[in-house]
Amino acid sequence: MKPIRLAVITVSDRCSRGVTVDTTGPALLRLAEAQLAAQITAFKCVPDEIPAVTQILCDLADGDDAPDLILTAGGTGLAPRDVTPEATLEVLERRHSGLMELIRRRCYEKTPRAYLSRGEAGTRRRTLIVNLPGSERGATESLEALVDILPHAIETLRGEVQDDGRPDATATTGKVVRHEDTRR
């Protein structure tokens, strides 16, 4: 598999003004490099404002050198200025709520607060966008909840996978993925 091209966007008023140091974005970069062998294409910080978030997401996903994956960190809670999910919904072409369901389910074992995150996930063109919480712990645990499925998701989004569980399937456009029923 080609390396996953990754952009991380921290959404924080205080970080964007330089009032506080962003530790969440760098932690996500380190984790993605270590567990996904991701190639970092962008790391930005924007304020908690819908126009700023939509602009950076569109600029990245619509560019000639678009990343495979954009992770946002912050702005997913219940505070009045937490607008990342609303901004993300404005730019998504296809929602993928199952990814957020998986994050919440897997992270619930560590903290019930996982269900307070209003994050969204989905695609814009060939880029997968996933909203993660703003805390370093919440963001990294959320990303860890997805690391086992992200490579396949990215390959599929790139069009590199002919996902077909039939025993007699042969590759015509990409690789064939054989699914084992793990619930047996």
Per residue in 36-70, pLDDT (tens digit) is 999 999 999 999 999 999 999 999 999 999 999 99
pLDDT number for residue 51 = 98
Torsion, Cα of 143, 145, 151, 156 (10° steps): -110
pLDDT band at 161 (very low <50, low <70, confident <90, very high): confident
pLDDT band at 153 (very low <50, low <70, confident <90, very high): very high
Which residue from 182, 159, 184 is spatially nearest to 172, judged by alpha carbons?
159
Per-domain residue ranges of the chain: 5-176
Average pLDDT of the chain? Answer: 92
Distance CA 84, CA 133 (A): 10
| Side-by-side strand order, sheet with 121-124 | 39-46, 5-11, 69-73, 127-132, 121-124, 94-95
Per residue in 162-173, pLDDT (tens digit) is 655 666 666 666
Question: Is pLDDT above 50 for 80?
Answer: yes
Per residue in 104-151, pLDDT (tens digit) is 999 999 999 999 999 999 999 999 999 999 999 999 999 999 999 999
What are the start-end ranges of the H helices in the chain?
A: 13-16, 24-36, 50-61, 84-91, 97-108, 136-144, 150-158
pLDDT number for residue 93 = 98
pLDDT number for residue 1 = 80
Distance CA 7, CA 145 (A): 18
The whole-model pTM stands at: 0.90
pLDDT number for residue 184 = 43
Q: What is the mean pLDDT of residues 72-96?
A: 97
- 5-176: CATH class: alpha beta
